[in-house]
Amino acid sequence: MSTEALEVIRKEVAENPIIIYMKGTPDFPQCGFSARAIEALKACGVGFAAVNVFEDEEVYRQGVKLFSNWPTIPQLYVKGELVGGSDIIMDLYQSGELQEMLQNAAQAA
């Protein structure tokens, strides 16, 4: 794990108002937790960036865990801040907060 990896992630999170780090892609998630998270995001009807952590294991696999001191993937960041993993994403989606949060972030961008 290099500091460059953390710098790559810091930049991506700063430049994308809505970004999710996941296993697989939005069309082909490779883990049940990532699949559930991405379904909730898609259902909100806003654009978002998605990074497949398998694309560059060197950078992402440990990098995203260290970056926010959060031990699991997926991770959703909105306006530069960690929102949470799949359980929190699902909770927020079911309460309607996720839709609101993402629409606000998309409008501000």
Partner 1 sequence: MYSAEQIQDLIEAALPDAQVRVEGDDGQHFAALVVSPQFEGKSRIEQHRMVYAALGDRMGGEIHALSLRTATPD
Report the interface residues with partner 1, using CB under 8 A: 32-33, 65, 69-73, 82-88, 91
Which is nearer to partner 1, 47 or 94 (by Cβ)?
Answer: 94
Shortest Å, Cβ 5 to partner 1: 16
Which is nearer to partner 1, 3 or 69 (by Cβ)?
Answer: 69
Shortest Å, Cβ 71 to partner 1: 4
Which is nearer to partner 1, 96 or 107 (by Cβ)?
Answer: 96
Q: Could you tell me the strand order of the sheet in which 49-52 lies?
A: 49-52, 18-22, 75-78, 81-84
How many of the other CB atoms lie within 10 Å of CB of 48?
A: 20
Beta carbons of 95 and 34 less than 8 angstroms apart? no
| Six token digits for residue 2 | 């290099």
